[in-house]
Amino acid sequence: MRQTLSYTVLPAEICIQSDTENYTIQFFSATTMRICRTADKNHVSFAIENLPPFHTDFCVNPSEDSGLQITTSYLDVRISPDLKIDIYDNRGTLLLADYRGDRVTTQTLSEEQMALVAMEGHQTEDTTAPATTTILKKLEPSTYFYGLGDKTGYLNKRGYEYMMWNTDNPEPQLEIPTFKAMYKSVPFFIAHSASGNYGIFFDNQNRTYFDMGYESNEYYCIRAEQGAYDYYFFGGDTMADILKEYTRLTGRAPLPQMWTLGYHQSRWSYSSAKEILSLADTFRREQIPCDCIHMDIDYMDAFKVFTWNETLYGEGNSLAGQMSKNGFKLVSIIDPGVKVEPGYDVYDTGVRNRYFATDAQGEIYKNVVWPGDSVFPAFTDDTVRIWWGGLQKHLLERGIRGIWNDMNEPASFRGPLPDDICFSDGNTTWKHSEIHNVYGHLMSKATYEGLKQYDKKRPFVITRACYSGSQKYACVWSGDNHSIWAHLQMAIPQLCNLGMSGICFAGTDIGGFGSHTTKELLCRWVEVGCFSPLFRNHSAKLTRRQEPFAFDTETINIYRKYVNLRYKLLPYYYDLFWEHTKNGLPIMRPLALHYEQDKNTLECNDMFLIGEQLLAAPVVNQGQEYRLVYLPEGTWIDYWNHREYAGNAHYIYHAPLDTCPLFVKAGAILPTYPAQQYVGEKAIDSIHFEIYISSNDTVTGHYTHYLDNGTDFAYEQGRYTQYEISLQKNRQVDIQIVHDGYENAYTSMTYDIIEPSGSAVSLKG
């Protein structure tokens, strides 16, 4: 059917009217564009809280085919009369085209046939379910997809279908199709192909589906059951440019406290103050650095949130006080479910003020979680979030230094919360189906804001469930993994994709949470975990103990080696976090992020970069001692023996149990700290840089180092010091202070030039 397009240009947007639909297009920069149904323009976005000013120069002109052409200095957007949108870059390269055909849904069977297929346990999900939004985009043969949060499987998401519906399923989450949904919903991805890059953020927090070429090779499909038709398109010369723009919109992780980058030990649950103190002693005796012990649900009185079992965990802040003498901090878990118990003040206050979710009849809704019958705070409401934020004071008074938000999908033991459970925000009543995916996000926000207000330090919040933008409030862990090799393998793409989704502060339960770990698995896991931004070992009740000393001396030695390495590299990690606040880049990065022109990196599932300077190639298979390593362009130096490796080549690397292959890029300038048992053990008044050069002595390098007090918000007032270090060709090293605001800046700085000690032979060689 022939349509006529008319349009109105407002100062910062274009409204397009056709016979069937009205769309609004806004530009946030020359590369970032929002496309939404005009009727949805003002829908609530949970991800984007403070929309940046959106004006950029653009031109709108009618096109020859009676459509429209809108150009910025980077994008050339062509809208045909039937409202199909094709996006080119300013060089005329087609980046993304709307798909012109119809969806080819999977075959439908008769009810009888379906039942038969289901009987043996096969999947019979109906993917044709009605959707309010279906976006079909043309799929180019060479497109790779990254991001989409914590989904199972491999780095490249092409060819699979995922669901955004925060899900607590502690069964071993293996590949899709069984596990289409995980704990987190981040409806954002980056597409990379030979013709260029782009990103899409579908700002719809409802249950949504991302079919990335699962049902067809011709298109990919984004569907929503309800909610807004509203997506953002990000163009960019590199994937890094796209991430920068996406995080400019949805926010970046704020600088963490330095100690949170140290090692964390956890288990469900350390059963008493005595056990926690003795654990802390063992860490110090074995000289394995550790900053923090996590307290799982048993520290509470009958699992009632914001209570404390004084019989087992001591009165007042006595436990935290004793722990702090040895440099340990405590983090405690808080779930959203509030026990139904008249006389329990959290419950009573919530009931009195109507803070809890209700059923369609207005009765407070109950389900079952750890404390038994429980009710669920309506975190959608500002007042409820402020109340919840204030409750954190109970834990701060006990000396708790960080809050671990769990079960906030929300998880429930008596069946899922019905779709129509109501969460009010004072004005609007949201149905559970509409806010399920942001429940954990809003809980983290409440926790973050409460801690910030009452603690005055940079809040340390960990969350299991989250949505796009949660990186502003919390770090994440990947939930209930298992002590299986498949989960160690998956940790790498999972953490890399979280990073490619704007969530840079993330980790997995080292050693695996469910099932029994083995010595070998634990050793190999710490060799990955020591590089992940959140560095925590955690395990479930009834599983084999997996603290570093649970096995033998060899395990202790290996564990200590990697925890020490992490503490040595703490200033590097801290710099990467600071860098993230400026450009949204993750800490742990897929090789593809920096070497996207190199095909060998695009599907690299078992290696990763830490910043730009380090490349880790851990062993993630049982019994393996030799592995294939691919090094992208440039010259690389083996961290352990300083051998030189030419890039663009494959190598076979011998990696016995105590070795995680680790390479430093020639030209790298690595900041290091002396060995410490915890952050703050030593007053650091000096920094040491390791500067890696190549044998032909031609590389140059540059590095920015950032320093502040690592604790509070004084840096926002300029109380930080920034150093620029550069390596010239003739081994000349210059250090300049470009911002001098931190009162305790270093009194001295040293460096070593690390020269290669011979070169390695590549597979071709």
Question: Can you give the binding site for ligand GLC, defined by CB under 6 A?
Answer: 170, 268, 296-297, 333, 406, 464, 479-480, 513, 538
Distance CA 202, CA 757 (A): 50
Active site residue 752: no
Taking the complex as a whole, how short is the minimal distance between the CB of residue 342 and ligand GLC, in angstroms?
25
DSSP classification of residue 74? S
Taking the complex as a whole, how short is the minimal distance between the CB of residue 601 and ligand GLC, in angstroms?
32
Active site residue 98: no
Nearer to ligand GLC, 13 or 296 (CB): 296
Taking the complex as a whole, how short is the minimal distance between the CB of residue 505 and ligand GLC, in angstroms?
17
Burial of 91 (0-12, 13-18, 19+ CB in 10 A): exposed
Judge whether 607 and 591 are in contact, CB under 8 Å: yes
| Catalytic, out of 150, 161, 406, 575 | 406
Nearer to ligand GLC, 296 or 434 (CB): 296
**Bridge partners (DSSP) listed for residue 707:** 721
H or E, element range at 390: helix 382-397
Distance CA 339, CA 334 (A): 12
User: Which position's Cβ is nearest ligand GLC?
Assistant: 268
Rounded to 5°, angle at Cα 346 from 345 and 351:
95
Taking the complex as a whole, how short is the minimal distance between the CB of residue 268 and ligand GLC, in angstroms?
3
Read off the tokens for 225: 């059951």
Judge whether 478 and 506 are in contact, CB under 8 Å: yes
Nearer to ligand GLC, 208 or 481 (CB): 481
Q: 484: number of CA atoms within 13 Å, CB side?
A: 12
Taking the complex as a whole, how short is the minimal distance between the CB of residue 266 and ligand GLC, in angstroms?
8
Taking the complex as a whole, how short is the minimal distance between the CB of residue 370 and ligand GLC, in angstroms?
7
Nearer to ligand GLC, 518 or 539 (CB): 539
Distance CA 384, CA 364 (A): 15
Taking the complex as a whole, how short is the minimal distance between the CB of residue 335 and ligand GLC, in angstroms?
7
| Catalytic, out of 241, 335, 409, 690 | 409
Taking the complex as a whole, how short is the minimal distance between the CB of residue 279 and ligand GLC, in angstroms?
16
Nearer to ligand GLC, 479 or 529 (CB): 479
Most distant CA pair in the chain: distance in Å? 79
Q: Tell me the residue length of the chain.
A: 765
For residue 84, the tally of other CB atoms under 10 A from its CB is 14
Read off the tokens for 408: 């906030």
Q: Beta strand 219-224 with 208-211: parallel, antiparallel or unpaired?
A: antiparallel
**Bridge partners (DSSP) listed for residue 402:** 331
Nearer to ligand GLC, 313 or 663 (CB): 313
Nearer to ligand GLC, 268 or 742 (CB): 268
Burial of 521 (0-12, 13-18, 19+ CB in 10 A): buried
> Of 499, 31, 9, 16, which Cα lies nearest the Cα of 233?
31
Judge whether 103 and 161 are in contact, CB under 8 Å: no
Taking the complex as a whole, how short is the minimal distance between the CB of residue 491 and ligand GLC, in angstroms?
15
Burial of 80 (0-12, 13-18, 19+ CB in 10 A): middle
Distance CA 426, CA 536 (A): 38
Q: Report residue 612 CA to chain centroid gap.
A: 18
Taking the complex as a whole, how short is the minimal distance between the CB of residue 480 and ligand GLC, in angstroms?
5
Nearer to ligand GLC, 479 or 586 (CB): 479
Taking the complex as a whole, how short is the minimal distance between the CB of residue 479 and ligand GLC, in angstroms?
5
Output the CA torsion sign for 625, 631, 636, 639.
negative
Residue type, 751: Y
Nearer to ligand GLC, 250 or 508 (CB): 508
Rounded to 5°, angle at Cα 20 from 19 and 26:
95
Q: For tokens 């938000």, what's the residue?
A: 405
Judge whether 572 and 479 are in contact, CB under 8 Å: no
Cis peptide before 756 (omega within 30 of 0): no
Nearer to ligand GLC, 513 or 678 (CB): 513
| Catalytic, out of 161, 211, 425, 480 | 480
> Of 511, 538, 518, 523, which Cα lies nearest the Cα of 270?
538
Nearer to ligand GLC, 168 or 381 (CB): 168
Taking the complex as a whole, how short is the minimal distance between the CB of residue 367 and ligand GLC, in angstroms?
16
Q: For tokens 């000289």, what's the residue?
A: 287
Nearer to ligand GLC, 334 or 421 (CB): 334
Rounded to 5°, angle at Cα 404 from 401 and 406:
165
Taking the complex as a whole, how short is the minimal distance between the CB of residue 497 and ligand GLC, in angstroms?
20
Distance CA 497, CA 616 (A): 16
Active site residue 64: no
Q: 576: number of CA atoms within 13 Å, CB side?
A: 25
Rounded to 5°, angle at Cα 672 from 670 and 677:
150
Nearer to ligand GLC, 265 or 380 (CB): 265
> Of 268, 258, 184, which Cα lies nearest the Cα of 464?
184
Q: Beta strand 402-405 with 461-463: parallel, antiparallel or unpaired?
A: parallel
Q: Which residues are catalytic?
A: 406, 409, 480
